Amino acid sequence: MRVALFITCVNDTLYPHTGQAVVTLLERLGVEVGFPEAQSCCGQPQFNTGYRHETEPLVRRYAAAFHDYDYVVAPSGSCAAMVRDNYPRIGAKAAAEGRGQELADAAAEAVPKTYELTEFLTDVLKVTDVGAYYPHTVTYHPTCHGLRMLGLGDRPRSLLAAVKGLNLVELPGADECCGFGGTFAVKNAAVSAAMGADKARNITATGAEAVCTVDNSCQMHIGGTLARQGSTVRPVHIAEILASTEGNVW
Amino acid sequence: MPAFPAAADASTRNTQLRANLRHATHTIRAKRATAVAELDDWSSLRAAGAAIKDRSLRHLDHYLEQLESAVTAAGGHVHWAADADEANRIVTELVQATGEREVVKVKSMATQEIGLNGALATAGITAYETDLAELIVQLGDDLPSHILVPAIHRNRGEIRDIFAEKMAQWGRPAPEWLTDAPADLAEAARLHLREKFLNAKVGISGANFMVAETGTLVVVESEGNGRMCLTLPETLISVVGIEKIVPTFQDLEVFLQLLPRSSTAERMNPYTSTWTGTTDADGPRTFHLVLLDNGRTDTLADTVGRQALRCIRCSACLNVCPVYERAGGHAYGSAYPGPIGAILTPQLRGVQSELDASLPYASSLCGACYEVCPVAIDIPEVLVHLRERVVEGGPVSVRGTRTVIKPAKGHAAERAAMRAARWALDHPRVLRTGQRLASRTRRFHPRRLPGPGRAWSDTRELPKVPEESFRDWWQRTRGESGTEGRKTT
Whole-number percent of chain B with pLDDT over 90: 83
Residue B448 has pLDDT above 80, yes or no: no
Q: From CA B119, how far away is CA B29, in angstroms rounded?
A: 35
State how far the Cα of B162 lies from the Cα of B148, in Å rounded to an integer: 20
Tally A–B CB contacts below 8 A.
211
Tell me the HSE value of B139 on the side-chain side, using a 13 A CA sphere: 29
Closest CA–CA distance from residue B479 to any residue of chain A (Å): 9
Per-residue model confidence as pLDDT tens digits over B214-225 = 999 999 999 999
Among the listed residues B346, B322, B353, B300, the one whose alpha carbon sits nearest the alpha carbon of residue B56: B300
The pLDDT averaged over each successive group of 10 residues in chain A (250 residues) is: 95 95 97 96 96 96 97 98 97 96 97 98 98 97 96 97 98 97 94 96 97 96 95 96 89
- Rounded Cα gap, residues A153 and A128, in angstroms: 14
> What is the DSSP secondary-structure string of A234-248?
EEEEHHHHHH--SS-
Task: Return the minimum-mean-pLDDT range out of A51-55, B192-196, B476-480.
Answer: B476-480
What are chain A's domains? 1-122 (3.40.50), 135-241 (3.40.50)
Chain B partners within 8 Å of A3 (Cβ): 487
Whether pLDDT at B489 is above 50: no
Q: Quick one: average pLDDT of B289-317?
A: 98
- Could you tell me which of B462, B418, B416 has the C-alpha nearest to residue B438? B462
DSSP 8-state symbol, B108: -
Q: Is A15 on the interface with B (CB under 8 A)?
A: yes
Query: Which sign does the torsion angle of CA A106, A108, A109, A111 carry?
Result: positive
pLDDT attached to residue B436: 84
Residues of chain A in contact with residue B362, where contact means CB-CB under 8 angstroms, are 188, 191
Flag whether pLDDT at B69 surpasses 60: yes
**Mean pLDDT over each residue of chain B, to the nearest integer:** 94
What is the predicted ipTM?
0.97
- What 3-state DSSP class applies to A56? helix
Taking CA atoms, B470 is separated from A16, A216, A225, B187, in Å, by 4, 14, 25, 67
| pLDDT at residue B488 tops 70 | no
What would the 3-class secondary structure string for B340-395 be?
A: HHHHHHHHHCCCCCHHHHHHHHCCCCCCHHHHHCCCCCCHHHHHHHHHHHHHHCEE
Contact A74/A149 with Cβ under 8 angstroms? Answer: no
- Give the SS3 label for residue A66: coil
Residues of chain B in contact with residue A54, where contact means CB-CB under 8 angstroms, are 418-419, 422
Question: Residue B480's pLDDT is what?
Answer: 61
Contact in structure between B146 and B109 (CB atoms under 8 Å): no
Residue B485 has pLDDT above 70, yes or no: no
Does residue B462 sit at the A interface (CB-CB below 8 Å)? yes
**Each residue's pLDDT tens digit, B24-59:** 999 999 999 999 999 999 999 999 999 999 999 999
